[in-house]
Amino acid sequence: MAHAHQQKEEFRILSTTAILGYGFPAASFEAGMARNPHLIAVDAGSTDPGPYYLGAGVSFTDRGAVKRDLEIMLKAGIPAKIPIVIGTAGGSGGEPHLLWCREIIEEIAAENGLHFKMAVIHAELEKGFVLESFKRGNITPLDPAPPLTASEIEASTRIVAQMGLEPFLAALDQGVDLILAGRTYDPVCFAALPIKRGYDRALSLHLGKILECASICATPGSGSDCMFGYIGEDYFRVEPLNPARKCTTLSVAAHTLYEKTNPYLLPGPGGHLDLHNCRFEQETENIVRVSGTSFVPGTVNTVKLEGAKPIGFRTVSIAGCRDPIMIARIDAVVKGVEERVADNFRGKLENYRLRFNIYGKDGVMAGLEPHPSTEGAHEIGIIIEAVAGTQKQADTIASFARSTMLHYGYEGRRSTAGNLAFPYSPSDFHAGEVYVFSVYHLLAAEDPAALFPREIISL
């Protein structure tokens, strides 16, 4: 007698917030806990805030806000024996970021009498190892990055590798209650445990891609609210936990494509997701069901490297202009000021970068602006930015550029009292050390788990 196929129990995941420290309503979290999740997970970082945080070794999220989110998660998850997974600790996932987040967790554990087994997975690589890999030809550019050089590696303050599934699976094999990981491919925080439990890899990663930004995939979207995911045998479902939000086929499909250049192929460590046969269905008024995603393994196993190097110090001056004649001639004014600065410091201070960001004229999109014009603008905001080898040198360039623009004579000028309005006194601000991404490349890795050392800590 043939037996009916028994459907696998859905694997349930609570995603607390888009980035650890962005917060979430207590009611949403409680609604998630009421659904008995098998996993509580959160992505804690991103390269979106730029290279400074990686290079300087600091978090772009506030310590108090991160502690608030973690305390709620740990006090609920640890006593209930629900595994907790945190990826890209401290915002960038380097050694100082990992230590910063680890100290917060240890503080919460001590204050609340919580005891658990934690895996700390490291993602920062030794420069010597990266140089050796470069010399062996194991590092290739990730478009549009240029080919890597040994000098760029040497100049980098730190270099992290973006880990995939392997280090998480290895940590889970050791029976840990909490994983705190350095730089991580965002979906893996959510996908590793269901994959270990036998759920489909493609669906787990695709759901992870959506859950890593929590309620941003809902409408109205929010980076500061919880989201819930269910994985079945050949589908997954997403559900917002705030009654003010809904998941629609449009909102979920749109978020699937978020930050991707190809709508059908989503690359990641070890291969890519293929969405050609993906289906988005409105299951209820606020739940969307997704099926048909497949995973295509890569021919070579690669991990992404991210490195940052310092290039100097920044001074910024903020001003506004409401003169329609100057606004109409702003390009000529900027060019004239740049030439005046270059002439004044010729032979004395030439290694600097001077930039004018004009808000009201391509200030957001710059060269990508499809409609470049100041026509019709009645006021513009001007940010004068100088970057030089020392803070003092940056001060010198910014100060001279600011005073030159303030009194610059242009055709049709009527007032000689000054061209700019300054919202602050002093008008110039120290923005400190400036970093750029120096490494944004792929490393061929035969054993991806070996790149990421694990520490097991009992608290």
Contact 225, 252 (CB under 8 A): no
Q: What is the pLDDT of residue 292?
A: 96
In one letter, which amino acid is 28? S
Lowest mean pLDDT among 56-60, 75-79, 258-262: 258-262
Contact 148, 141 (CB under 8 A): yes
Query: What is the overall mean pLDDT for the chain?
Result: 94
pLDDT digits over 385-395, tens only? Answer: 999 999 999 99
Q: What is the pLDDT of residue 119?
A: 98
CA 100-172-23 angle, 5° bins: 40
Lowest mean pLDDT among 83-87, 130-134, 207-211, 361-365: 361-365
- Reply yes or no on whether the pLDDT at 2 is more than 60: no
Q: What is the pLDDT of residue 5?
A: 55
Q: What is the pLDDT of residue 262?
A: 83
| Distances 176 to 84, 425, 431 between C-alpha atoms, Å | 9, 54, 41
Q: Are strands 227-231 and 11-15 parallel, antiparallel or unpaired?
A: antiparallel
- Reply yes or no on whether the pLDDT at 260 is more than 80: no
pLDDT digits over 112-159, tens only? Answer: 999 999 999 999 999 999 999 999 999 999 888 899 999 999 999 999
Q: What is the mean pLDDT of residues 57-78?
A: 98
Q: Say if pTM beats, i.e. exceeds, 0.85.
A: yes
Lowest mean pLDDT among 174-183, 196-205, 231-240, 365-374: 365-374
Task: Provide the 8-state DSSP code for 1.
Answer: -
Q: What is the pLDDT of residue 429?
A: 96
SS3 letters across 142-201: CCCCCCCCHHHHHHCCEEEECECHHHHHHHHCCCCCEEEECCECCCHHHHHHHHHCCCCH
Q: What is the pLDDT of residue 349?
A: 93
Q: Which residues neighbour 399 within 8 Å (Cβ) at sequence distance 6 or greater?
A: 315, 317, 428
- Reply yes or no on whether the pLDDT at 257 is more than 90: no
- Reply yes or no on whether the pLDDT at 1 is more than 60: no
pLDDT digits over 291-345, tens only? Answer: 999 999 988 889 999 999 999 999 999 999 999 999 999 999 999 999 999 999 9
Q: What is the pLDDT of residue 256?
A: 84
What sections of 230-318 are H helices per DSSP? Answer: 249-256
Query: Sorting pLDDT into bands at 50, 70 and 90, what band is 6?
Result: low
Cα–Cα distance for residue pair 283/275, rounded to 1 Å:
19
- Reply yes or no on whether the pLDDT at 268 is more than 90: no
Q: What is the pLDDT of residue 95?
A: 98
CA 372-376-381 angle, 5° bins: 70
To the nearest whole percent, how much of the chain has pLDDT over 90? 84
Q: What is the pLDDT of residue 374?
A: 61
Contact 342, 349 (CB under 8 A): no
Lowest mean pLDDT among 153-167, 190-204, 365-379, 402-416: 365-379
